[in-house]
Amino acid sequence: MIRVLQVVTYMGRGGLETMLMNYYRHIDRNKVQLDFLVHRDFEADYDKEILDLGGRIYHVSRLVPWSRAYRTELKKFFHEHQEYQIVHVHQDCLSSVALQCAEECGVPMRIAHSHNSNQDKNLKYLIKLYYMKKIPDYATDLFACSKSAGKWMFGESTFQLLNNAIDINRYMYSQNVDMAVREEFGLDKGTVIGHVGRFVPQKNQEFLIDIFYECTKLDPNIKLMLVGDGEGKDRIERKVFDMNLQSKVVFTGVRSDVNRLMQAMNVFVFPSLYEGLPVTMIEAQASGLPCIISDHVSDECIVTRGLVSSMPLEESPARWAECILQQSGRRHENHRKEIQEAGYDISTAANKLEKFYLEIAER
C-alpha cells in the first residue's frame, strides 16, 4: 500500500473536498491510502470519516505564501514524513508554495490540481496570479477538473482531466424522499428552487435573491432552498429579510445529505461568476433536475441532453425568473446512462486515479 498526501485548506463540505471524499470512499484502500495536510486547527466536517477510513490528518499553520516561518514549518513536515513520495496539492493559485517546499525536501512526485477557472478580483488577486504562474515549475503532474480550469491555471502546460465524479446511485429520484424532505422543511407541494454552494461572492447569491423575488411575482407559492454556509451568509439573510422573503426562503446550512434535498427541488439555479466544474451541477443532473446556470459557468458541466439551460448574467432577474418558471413543471428525469458515458461515475473514475497513483509511484 502507498500513502498519498493531499494538501488542502481544511476538509469542510466544499466542492473540492466533496470531490476528494467521493474518490477516497471508492478507491481501493488496500492499495492506496489518502492522508491530509490541513491548514486549520479545528475539526472539519469530513475529519471523522477520514480517520474511520484509515486516513491521517496533519495540521500546519495558515498558508502565508511569503512567510519564511510557514515555509520552514512545511519543510520540517516533509523532512519528518519521508514516507510521502506523492503529494497532491489542492490550494489553487497558491499551490506553488507547497509544491516548491516538497521539491526542495526531495518529494519526487508533486501534483497540482486546478479546481477553478478564475479568482475573485480582490486585494489578493495579483499576489495569487504571481504564485499561480510558478506552479508548472514545481509540479511533476498537473490535474484539472475541466479544460477551462486547466488552461486558466496552467496556461500552455500539459494537464490531465480528473472528473468531479459522484456516486450516481445516491441521486436517483424517489417520490418518498421528495415528500419526506418537504415535510422536514415545511414545504408544500409547490415549486421549490434549489441552490447549493458556499456563501461567497463567486456563487453570486445576491443576484439569486433578486431572481427569486421576481419568481414570487409569477408564482406566490414558490420557495427557495439554499444549501450551504459561508462568510457571506449573514449578508444574504439580511437581504432576504429586507425584501420580506423570509417566509419563502429556507436556509438549510451545511448538510451531509444533499442527494436527499435535491429530491424535493424542481429547478436548480446556479448563477456563479466563475467555476471550474462544479460537483453540484453533476449531482443536480444525476437527480434529473432542470438546471439554469450562468453563461460564466463552463458548458463542460453540461453532461446531459435537455436538462441544462445557460443564461447571460447581463439578463435581468425578471428574464431569469421567466426561464426558471418555464422549467419548473418538468418531472425528475433519469439521465444515469449519459452521466456514466461522460465519465462521472465514481467507480470508474476512482479506478483511474488509483491506477495513476500506482503508476507514478513506480516512476
Residue 121 has pLDDT above 90, yes or no: no
Per-residue pLDDT of 294-326, as tens digits, reads 999 989 999 999 999 999 999 999 999 999 999
State the average pLDDT over residues 103-114: 98
pTM of structure: 0.90
Of 338, 245, 234, 327, give the one whose Cα is nearest residue 285. Answer: 338
Of the chain, the percentage scoring pLDDT greater than 90 comes to 93
Under 8 Å between Cβ of 255 and 232: no
State the average pLDDT over residues 173-187: 95
Distance of CA 332 to the CA centre of its chain: 23
Per-residue pLDDT of 337-357, as tens digits, reads 999 999 999 999 999 999 999
State the average pLDDT over residues 47-65: 97
Specify the DSSP element, H or E, that contains 310. strand 308-311
pLDDT at 268: 97
Amino acid sitting at position 135: I
pLDDT at 245: 98
pLDDT at 189: 87
Fold equal for 2-165+345-361 and 168-341? yes
Under 8 Å between Cβ of 211 and 269: yes
Distance CA 274, CA 15 (A): 14
Topology of the domain comprising 2-165+345-361: Rossmann fold (3.40.50)
Of 215, 200, 194, 202, give the one whose Cα is nearest residue 317. Answer: 215
Per-residue pLDDT of 67-101, as tens digits, reads 999 999 999 999 999 999 999 999 999 999 999 99
Q: Model confidence at 231, in pLDDT bands (50, 70, 90)?
A: very high
pLDDT at 333: 83
Of the chain, the percentage scoring pLDDT greater than 70 comes to 100
pLDDT at 188: 86
Sequence spans of domains, the chain: 2-165+345-361, 168-341
- Domain 168-341 CATH class label: alpha beta
Under 8 Å between Cβ of 201 and 120: yes
Residue 262 has pLDDT above 90, yes or no: yes
How is residue 265 written as a grid cell?
427541488
pLDDT at 319: 98
CA atoms within 13 A on the CB side of 323: 22
In terms of pLDDT, which residue wins out, 225 or 333? 225
State the average pLDDT over residues 185-192: 92
Distance CA 36, CA 6 (A): 5
